[in-house]
Structure 1
Amino acid sequence: CRTVLETAGSHHHRNDRRRAVRRVTIVGASGSGKSTLAAQLAAQLDARLVELDAIFHKPDWTPTPTPQFRAEVAAALDTDRWVVAGNYSVVMDLTQGSADTIVWLDMPRWLVTWRVIKRSIHRAAKREELWNGNRERWRNLIKRDPEDNIIVWAWTYHGVHTQRYTGFAAGDFWAHADVRRLRSSRQVRDFVSSASLGEPEID
């Protein structure tokens, strides 16, 4: 059975018995807060934090070939408790398919784009290292190709994520998991502090 929790006014279903939260996958558009929430939950659950971007982007932003990427993600998930942040479709069967809880951060397009703008400018100005020595580059922030410019990517692919995850939430792919569709910072805070993050208990 699936638990689907959405914003006020939306339908939801609850199981009679809450599940322990041990394997969490967090999805959503760039700038929705996946990494921040994943770090919080991993600490709270004493779980392994798995950043898909950190696995995929090798030094100098070199992409990891799909077979190697899948193998490395599978190895990272070989533990009792984990929290994954990321959307990569080539490993969705591993990350989303084996999660007991899926958190969809469904924030407005304007908000995530604004967050990405601020984040990217800060990272570029501070020469902040992300993963494997990679840093955001000023020159990428003026390009129009979403493959190069994360700001354009966030704006362009927001609708793609919304369409994909709306289908997953209504269909069979997420039917095995408790699905949380969070649309505001307040809902995220409520989720982090909710009683469902722990051992099972009777409602």
Structure 2
Amino acid sequence: MKRVIVIGSPGAGKSTFSKRLGRLVNEEVYHLDQLFWLPGWVMRERDEFIALQEEVMNQASWIIDGNYGGTLGVRLEKADTVIWIDPPRKVCLYRILKRYFLNRNQTRPDMTEGCEEKLDWEFIKYVWNFRRDKRPKLNEQLHKAARHKTIHVIESSKDMERFLENIKIKREGSSLL
């Protein structure tokens, strides 16, 4: 598990999970939102966005958090591990609302400076419909890549805690040898 991508709906817990995993395995985490957005919610040019991802992926190891379906293939090609965080949509919706109220009028740590937290009806609909609209394509892409990748699906907070605890146990066990 040297080149890890963490994917899932907005509000699934990708960034929180990625940060915790990064601390456990002592690996830097790259948030696609920070690579994609310029201050003031200005989108970066596609070629520049891809170049920034490739710069990260040319390193020996990394954790990349985020979907951005248009460039997922690039990351899938280089990753050895995919972690798909896939909780129910009610959980995702609750988390984006909570995130908004906790970070209102400020920039989240996993976001580009100058992109204050925002929430609008379009984003709420996107999150609510993610399973119907985005999940099938994501599943198809993962299915094609499955032969060459380790894929973990995490569907609940309990699954997340178990996964991280197993990583911790494995790391502690290998350091005893």
TM-score of Structure 1 vs Structure 2, range by shorter chain: 0.7 to 0.9
Question: Residue type matched to 1:94 in 2?
Answer: V
Alignment-derived partner of residue 18 in structure 1: none
| 8 A Cα contact 2:89 2:128, kept in partner | yes
Structure 2 residue 127 is the aligned partner of structure 1 residue 154: yes
Aligned partner of 2:75 in structure 1 is 95
User: Mapping of 1:65-84 within 5 angstroms?
Assistant: 65-84=45-64
Aligned to 1:11: none
Q: Work out the CA distance in 1 between the residues paired with 2:64 and 2:129.
A: 23
Give structure 1 stretches of 5+ with no counterpart: 1-20
Matches of 2:74 and 2:3, distance apart in 1: 11
SS in 2 for 1:60: coil
Whichever of the two has the greater Rg, that structure is: 1
User: Cα deviation per residue 1:110-137 (whole Å; 9 max; x = unaligned)?
Assistant: 111111111112222xx22132211024
Stretch moving more, 60-69 or 152-161: 152-161
The question of whether the paired residues in 2 share the 8 Å contact of 1:106 and 1:162 is answered with no
CA contact (8 A) 2:80 2:149 kept: yes
Q: Secondary structure at the match of 1:128?
A: coil
Which one-letter code corresponds to 1:159 in the other structure? R
- 8 Å CA contact 1:46, 1:81 repeated in 2: no
Taking the aligned partners of 1:158 and 1:172, their CA distance within structure 2 comes to 19
Q: Percent of aligned pairs with the same residue?
A: 23
Q: Distance in 1 between matches of 2:146 and 2:38?
A: 30
Runs of 4+ in 1 over 4 A off after TM superposition: 195-198
Q: Deviations over 1:61-115 (max 9, x none)?
A: 0001110000011112222221010011232122222111100111101111111
- Give the alignment's TM-score, normalised by structure 2: 0.86
Q: Distance in 1 between matches of 2:13 and 2:73?
A: 22
Q: Structure 2 vs 1, CA of residues 57 and 120 (structure 1 numbering), >3 Å: closer, same or farther?
A: same
1:159 deviation in Å?
2.2
Q: Once the 2 structures are TM-superposed, how far is the Cα of residue 197 of structure 1 from its aligned partner?
A: 5.9
TM-score under structure 1 length normalisation: 0.76
1:145-184 aligned within 5 A? 146=122, 150-169=123-142, 171-184=143-156
Say if 1:22 and 1:45, in contact at 8 Å, map to a contact too. no
2:106 to 128, 132, 153: 128
RMSD of aligned C-alpha atoms?
2.1
Equivalence for 2:166: 194
Classify 1:48/1:77 alpha carbon distance in 2 versus 1 (closer, same or farther; 3 Å). Answer: farther
| 2:24 matched residue in structure 1 | 44
Quote the offset at 1:26 in angstroms: 0.5
Corresponding pairs, count? 169
1:135 & 1:174 partners in 2: Cα distance?
Answer: 37
Q: Give the superposition deviation at 1:194.
A: 1.6
Aligned to 2:7: 27
**2:57–2:78 Cα contact (<8 Å) kept:** no
